[in-house]
Structures are given as structure tokens and as C-alpha cells.
Amino acid sequence: MKRIVLLIFACSLLFVSFASCYRPGSGNNTESSKTAVPSLTSENINSIPPELKFQGLSFDIGAPGPTGPDYFDCDSPVSGDQISEAIYTRNRRVEERFEITINSLIIGGSGNAAEYLLPYIKSGDDVIDIMATAFTQSAKPLIVNDLIIPWNGAKYINLSQPWWNTSITETLSLNNNYYFLGGDINWFTFAVTSAFFFNKKVAEEYQIGDIYQIVKDGNWTQELMMTLAKSASQENGDGVRDIKDKYGLCVNSHHLESFVYGRGMQLVSFSDNGVDCRFDSEEMVDLIDGLGSFLKNNEYVWLDDGNETLTQIFFDDRALFACAGFNACEEWRNQDSNFGILPLPKASEKQDKYYTYSDQWGMALAIPMTATDKDRTGAIIETMAQYSYEYIRPAWYEKTLTGKYTRDDESEEMLDIIYSNVLYDPGYMFITNLEWMPFTNCVKRGEGLISWYDARKSVIMANFKDLYDYVWDK
């Protein structure tokens, strides 16, 4: 369906798209059941009355530019590309079901969605049906500027269904209001979810053992990761640590925060008693002093923005581990070295599950203030989510990941573990300013947490209190 671009927004974004039509697992959860493959079709499950139609409706989804709209709409499928074909099929099925057309349009960028949505809200026109939001920077401004409404009461939305991620609604609920939905419908979450990768040749060279079994036994921890990485690091003899040396771990710095959420940490929570901000908790201090110091040590770790140098070192068989998002796999399609996939390591063996986090470009769905028919939106989005579960999840999970990228059956099992526990934290979802993310900024700048936080505590606390006051006083 022809995509309508109502606003042209040009800016430098933190994310680079990897495609044309497209960015909480337990240690005992070892069953390779291929849970990503739907066991029920949407026809089996859909409880929306078949006679419900919205004949002639243009259902418009706003998303951040330049690539956001492509994750929800595709004019025509790219031959042989499973994802674009799945998006195309899903949308056509939804259009036929409700006798509507689905369109997508650019609404600003990742950091200024509120600014660009505001003119539509002020006009009072029911133009935008859904706002797909890069949440870290734009979720809070959309709420406090009265630009979106909660999903509460939207008929037909069934959060118990497997196509919804309940972490978003459970942990991000504000005074019993949930402003955002997420799940298979915003499928790009799969691509920007953080994971570990290991080079099989290097693993064999250093005899690290059966790392998959270590994961399944619940013993894949940050401490073990550091020990193994140290054992696989080696300088090439020229006295300079650079891209030509061997490293235990290569890290895309945009995924540094994943080390926080791999531990299941939550930095902020809201309740009737106010805001509990744990940026300077003892656990965070220990994490930055311990793991943070390791990540800053170039004797063992290659830390760089993006995937370019990481890819070079990792696939030149000079790194044991790499930490990046799954979208890196697109760049690895033609690499020769075999690699495996692992979840983020735990804090300790006592941690009950393996957790991960997803970058804001996974996006979350909100209802604009001017959307006049919440039940209509609920019916369409629920159906769209169901078809995403039926078509897009298998296309990403089975056909694309396991068919093109991963090199063994065990990695498929690891995907089950990883995708079953994507963690959402109000401290990340509503932070607004990327410079306020503690672990990432302390590691990259080489600062201690206490001094870093003392210099920013007042503005960070004001950011969250502003959100609290708006929701609880409303």
C-alpha cells in the first residue's frame, strides 16, 4: 500500500537500518520447542466478530523517520525476502478482514516524536490512528504533553495472547494506566534485542568446553564470561593493543546497557508512594566497579561504536565473544567463520532467568489523543498482532535466523531462551536523554558512578518526577 509521507524529517539517527522493508529465559528452560513457531493460527484464536468492518477506512500508523514506517508497511514484497513478504501478507490479510487500507507515515525522529505529533493533535483531526514510538527518548514527552491516551478499556485487546510482550504493560504501568503495547506487531524488537555470540574456532582453540550446556545448566554468568574472555586475549607482539590483536570480547557500545538488564535489574519504579530511583544502588556501583572496569580494559575487550570493527576482529577469528544486537547478523551473512548464539550472562547462578533488553528502535505502540474510536483501533491492532505472530515471527525466527544466520541447532534453542525474557525498565523507557544512562556513560567516559550521578541527579530525578506528577495528579 502506498506509504504517505506527510512530514519530511532529516536528521542523524543513532540507528542504521539493515533492510529495505524493515531494528523475560530461565536457566532451566532448556526445551527446544521452537516456541517462536505459532501452534495456533489467528483464525483459531480471533474472537473479534466477523461482521465487524470499517469499510473505506485509511488506518494510518505514524513512526519515526527515516526507516520506522517500513517496519509496519511494505508497498510490495522483495522477492525472496521473508520479512518483507510476511509484512505484505499480514497487511493485506488485515485490510481484507476489515475492508480498510493500511498506510504508514513519518512522524519526526526517535528523539522528537512529541514535537512532530503535536500539530496533528492541535488540529483535532483524526489523522493518526497509531503512533509507533522509539520509547527511550519519546515515550515520556508523549505522555506529559497530553498527546497520547492509555490503552485501558480498548475493546478486543487481549494481553494474555502470545503475540503480546507483557513486560511492557506489567512493568511500565503508571497508576494502573498502560500507555504502550509491544509484541510481534513491532517485530523489529527481534532485530535489536541484545545477545552474545561466540566464535567456534576460537572456543575450540582455547578449550572453553560446552558453552551451550553451561547456559542450559544456568551457569552462564558475567564472572565466567570475564574469566573465559581473559583466557582468550593475546597481544600480537608489537607492544600496542589495537585492532590487530586477539580479544576475549568485542562489544558494540550501543549495547552496553544490556549488561545491566542481563542481571534483571530495574533502575526506576513508580508507585503511589512516588518514584524509586536506584541509579546509585549498591548493585550498580559494584557493577560499574567490577564488570565496568573489565569492559574498559583494552587488554581483554575491544569496545567501539557500531559493528564494523567488531565484525572484522570476530570473523578474523581473533575474538572469543561478541556482544551486539541481532541486526548485526545481516552484516555477517557472508562470513565464513562459524559462530553460536548465547543469551546475556547472568549476575550469578542464583539468578532465576536469563534476561535481555531491546533497543528503543524495537518501538512501542501508543494511541494518539485525537484517535476517536479506541475500540476500532483495538480490533485492528489485535488482528494485526495476531497475523504478525502467524506470519512475521516465523519469517524472522525460523526462515531468516535459523535458516540464514545461525550455524547449529543449539543456537535455535538459545533463541527460545533469549526472546522469552526481554526486559523493560521504566528507568530506560522513560529516561528521555540518552546521556543519562548510567552504565553506558560511565563505562564509555571512564567515570565512577557516584561522581557521574551526583552531577546529574537533580535533572534525572526531575525527569521522572515530572512524569509521576502528571500521571498521579491527573
Preceding peptide of 162 cis, ω within 30°: no
The amino acid present at 335, given as its one-letter code, is Q
How is residue 4 annotated by DSSP? P
Query: What is the Cα–Cα distance from 471 to 428, expressed in whole angstroms?
Result: 18
Cα separation, 438 vs 266, in Å, equals 12
Listed residue (277, 403, 290, 264) closest to 346, CA to CA: 264
Look up the CATH architecture of domain 42-191+359-407.
3-Layer(aba) Sandwich (3.40)
How far is it, in rounded angstroms, from Cα 9 to Cα 112?
10
Kindly report the backbone phi and psi dihedral angles of residue 237, in degrees, each rounded to the nearest multiple of 5, phi listed first.
Answer: 105, -5
CA gap 421, 176 in Å, rounded: 22
CA-based torsion, 147, 152, 156, 159: positive or negative: positive
Where does residue 427 rank: exposed (0-12), middle (13-18), buried (19+ CB within 10 A)? buried
First to last CA, the chain: 39
Give one DSSP letter per residue of 4-47, joined into a string.
Answer: P---------S----SS-----BTT------TTS-SS-HHHH--
The grid cell for 149 is 491516551
Name 473's Cβ contacts closer than 8 Å, sequence gap at least 6: none
Report the distance separating Cα 420 and Cα 278, nearest Å.
25
Whether the CB-CB separation of 190 and 395 falls below 8 Å is answered with: no
Q: Quick one: 473 exposed, middle or buried, by C-beta within 10 A (0-12, 13-18, 19+)? A: exposed
Nearest to 184 by CA among 159, 153, 150: 159
Specify whether the CB–CB gap between 214 and 30 falls below 8 A: no
Report the alpha-carbon angle 397-401-406, nearest 5: 135
Cα 86 to Cα 397: distance, rounded to the nearest angstrom? 12
- Distance CA(11)–CA(15), nearest Å, equals 11
CATH level 2 (architecture), domain 194-356+433-454: 3-Layer(aba) Sandwich (3.40)
Per the structure block, which three cell numbers stand in for 106? 513519518
Please report, in tens digits, the pLDDT of each residue of the chain (474 residues total): 434 433 333 333 333 333 333 323 333 333 333 444 455 555 556 679 999 999 999 999 999 999 889 889 888 888 778 899 999 999 999 999 999 999 999 999 988 999 999 999 999 888 999 999 998 899 999 999 999 999 999 999 999 999 999 888 888 899 999 999 999 999 999 999 999 999 999 999 999 999 999 999 999 999 999 999 999 999 888 989 999 999 999 999 999 999 999 999 999 999 999 999 999 999 999 999 999 999 999 999 999 999 999 999 999 999 999 999 998 887 787 888 889 999 999 999 999 999 998 988 889 999 999 998 999 999 999 999 999 999 999 888 766 566 666 667 788 789 889 988 898 999 999 999 999 999 999 999 998 999 999 999 999 999 999 999 999 997
Q: How many CB atoms lie within 10 A of CB 441?
A: 18
Cell numbers for 297: 580494559
Domain with CATH 3.40.190.10 in the chain: 42-191+359-407, 194-356+433-454
What is the full DSSP assignment across 419-430?
HTTB---HHHHT
Give Dmax (Cα) for the chain. Answer: 74
Spatial contact of 235 and 435, defined as CB atoms under 8 Å apart:
no
What pLDDT was estimated at residue 40?
54
Burial of 87 from C-beta contacts in 10 A (0-12 / 13-18 / 19+):
buried
pLDDT at position 272 is: 95
* Phi and psi torsions of 331, nearest 5°: -75, -15
3-state secondary structure of 409: helix
How many residues appear in the chain? 474
